[in-house]
């Protein structure tokens, strides 16, 4: 099984990217995970899209399609997800097809604030309702006071946060297996 991690932050010292890196060491047996790079995706412009998808967008779409599940880490800016993440989702979801359809997705957030990025996660949930992404409801992973839970090198040092991420990843693997089995059963039932 293969996961794709997408960080909604471009900052080198991003707590959310650090959380995704921590996830790569907390995966259940038999699961691998790569991290996508959305930094080269241009601002969405329909005139650009009419000329074809930019290479970084095509790469992201292919990575999403190949993944069995997604782990999206988002900071919270002004009670919402960052524009760079929404931009990447908007580009990746352009018709005629979009790779989020039926894709198991887990959300994580790391924030210095007390809510741990909860509001940004709720906004992402709304976006994926429309895109028919299959959001894992529980367990949730919202790392509050995140600046105290990673060291200067971006290594996760908080055992409670690590346990939270590990539980989320295990549940996502189970969710992805269940979704895959359901999709296979539907495929077999069709003439």
Per-residue pLDDT reduced to its tens digit, 133-174: 999 999 999 999 999 999 999 999 999 999 999 999 999 999
Helix (H) or strand (E) holding 58: helix 55-66
Domain ranges, residue 33: 2-189
Output the pLDDT for position 191. Answer: 61
Token pair listed for 62: 């292919």
pTM exceeds 0.75 for this model: yes
Count the domains in the chain.
1
Contact between residue 150 and residue 156 where contact means Cβ atoms under 8 Å apart = yes
- Hey, what long-range contacts does 144-151 have (CB within 8 A, 24 or more apart)? 144/111, 144/113, 144/114, 144/115, 144/116, 145/112, 145/113, 145/114, 146/15, 146/19, 146/110, 146/111, 146/112, 146/116, 147/15, 147/112, 149/110, 150/15, 150/18, 150/110
Question: What b/e readout covers 69-94, taking b as 16+ CB neighbours within 10 angstroms?
Answer: bbbbbbbbbeebbbebbbbbbbbbbe
The pLDDT tens digits of the residues spanning 79-130 come to 899 999 999 999 999 988 999 999 999 999 998 877 778 899 999 999 999 9
Distance separating alpha carbons of residues 69 and 104, to the nearest angstrom = 5
CATH (domain of 38) = 3.40.50.360
């Amino acid at each position: 099984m293969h996961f794709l991690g997408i960080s909604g932050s471009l900052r080198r010292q991003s707590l959310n990217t650090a959380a995704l890196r921590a996830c790569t060491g907390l995966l259940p047996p038999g699961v691998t995970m790569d991290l996508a790079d959305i930094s080269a995706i241009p601002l969405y412009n329909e005139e650009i899209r009419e000329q074809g998808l930019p290479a970084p967008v095509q790469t992201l779409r292919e990575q999403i399609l190949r993944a069995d599940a997604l782990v999206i880490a988002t900071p919270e800016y002004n009670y919402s997800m960052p524009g760079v993440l929404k931009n990447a989702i908007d580009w990746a979801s352009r018709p005629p097809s979009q790779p989020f359809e039926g894709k198991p997705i887990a959300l994580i957030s790391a924030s210095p604030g007390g809510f741990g990025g909860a509001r940004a996660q709720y906004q992402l949930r709304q976006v994926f309702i429309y895109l028919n992404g299959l959001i894992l409801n529980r367990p949730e992973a919202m790392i509050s006071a995140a600046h105290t839970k990673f060291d200067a090198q971006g290594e996760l040092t908080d055992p409670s946060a690590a346990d939270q991420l590990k539980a989320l990843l295990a549940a996502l693997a189970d969710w992805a297996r269940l979704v895959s089995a359901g999709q296979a059963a539907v495929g077999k039932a069709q003439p």
